Structure 1
């Protein structure tokens, strides 16, 4: 059964898109700060735990995920919206911008920027390992202790101990039960990464986590400078690949700095 997309707040529309093997719940820590300024829609993307089932016979890839998000936006009455996405969600947000659905994009450590086949193979291995860990009863039991949870989740979170105990079962279930993860990973090399833009159709901020161990900047971010001409690139200090739990206030500022008229908070630009 699919989750009903979370929706709350008032203001200009904002759609939040999670990473691979996660769900809408990844955005819970930042919802209060964003809903104070925006009408926020937070879906679980197709093929992920709680999202719509993947259409039978449809090739698994970013294009199909973007189709699903477009359908959800249409259902919510959002012809366009500000888009913020993490990892895979950042890539999907960029593809939606290419389709004319974005008023702005904030991509937090977006996927799709690997430089070499080895970089992609390392990423695939990391996700397969994450899926196995998420399915392990022993690992789930260890993760009930905050300091052990920080160790177990270190690849994706700098401060896994900040994930509330009540959210831990869903976090691991999301990791274990992403139905399309295998096909998505297997097809990544064939489908390729983020295709270059001739010019950006809207403001784009790429905010890279300073302690991203899953897709580090130098192996996955540098190429996006050439593919996203005119985008703003900033660094989010002291956070891991999924920064929403590590530092919710920092993520809220990174998003609102683009989606509102306030002067953006500028962090250190990656070298």
Structure 2
């Protein structure tokens, strides 16, 4: 079973992190939403405190879908609001396609690269980050107390790495190393988003304007392929916008959940 936390009360809201990250990525947003929703954060397979990722003969896509469905059954949550970042955004969109999401907020979602170069770029980026993270992890709790060091280590993810909590940054570095097998598995089975969310599911695709991981021009591809969604920018934010502007991210999620029909 995937590791998870439940916080707050109200309609269920499931938050899904991106590849190489962990559920704590949502911490700045959780504290802003827990007064209105029952917020559920999870660790994807092979990440954080979840078990190692074992597709067991299934495709990676089918295995992750099975894990998310099993978690919904365990939590007795049939159709939550869902928000996801990066890989989590792609999974959120697919939950809507399957009829398992009440609304979807996808933050710089994966699956909208235009050509092979986009895929090779992000895979190479992660390979480089892991090369740096392995020797950094044992000393990260000391080194990342320095804001300049955090900027150097996390500028590919955040527009304002200096705002990251040093302890969280050190734990994120350790998680990047510990989840490397799952990262390889996910990248080895990467795919473009194959569907289009129906008009009955309120959907927002919000792209970080300063995204250095999934480059912002992919937002134009998302607009073309998911015309029923509300599309907007997250100004001043990097690929993981929850630490750059948690107030804005929380408000985008609120607006989506309050929408009765997509614009």
Regarding TM over 0.5, the answer is yes
Contact 1:97 1:201 survives alignment (8 Å) = no
Cα contact 2:207–2:232 (8 A) shared by 1: yes
TM-score by length of 1: 0.89
**Residues 179-221 of structure 1, C-alpha deviations (whole Å, 9 max, x = no match):** 3111211222xxx210132734401100000100111121x22
Paired position in structure 1 for 2:154: 153
Distance 1:108 1:98 in 2: 17
SS of residue matched to 2:158: coil
Residue number in structure 2 paired with 1:163: 164
Query: SS of the counterpart of 1:253?
Result: helix
> Is residue 2:78 matched to residue 1:76?
no
Distance of aligned partners of 1:212 and 1:198 in 2 relative to their CA distance in 1, 3 Å threshold = closer
In structure 1, stretches of 5+ residues that fail to align are: 265-271
Is 1:237 the equivalent of 2:235?
yes
Partner of 1:210 in structure 2?
209
Aligned to 1:57: 56
CA distance in 2, matches of 1:84, 1:243: 12
**Equivalent residue number for residue 112 of structure 2:** 113
CA gap of 1:4–1:197, structure 2 versus 1, over 3 A, is closer
**Aligned-residue RMSD, C-alpha:** 2.1
> Residue 174 of structure 2 aligns with which residue?
173
Mark the runs of 5 or more structure 2 residues left unpaired by the alignment.
none
Q: Deviations over 1:25-61 (max 9, x none)?
A: 1011111111111011111011213113222533563
In the comparison of the two structures, how many residue pairs are matched? 258
Q: TM-score, normalised by structure 2?
A: 0.91
Equivalent positions of 1:69-148 (< 5 A) are 69-137=68-136, 140=140, 141-148=142-149
SS at match of 1:79: coil
CA distance in 2, matches of 1:20, 1:89: 8
**Following the alignment from structure 1 to structure 2, what is the Cα–Cα distance between the partners of residues 183 and 128?**
13
**How far has the Cα of 1:20 moved from its partner?**
0.2
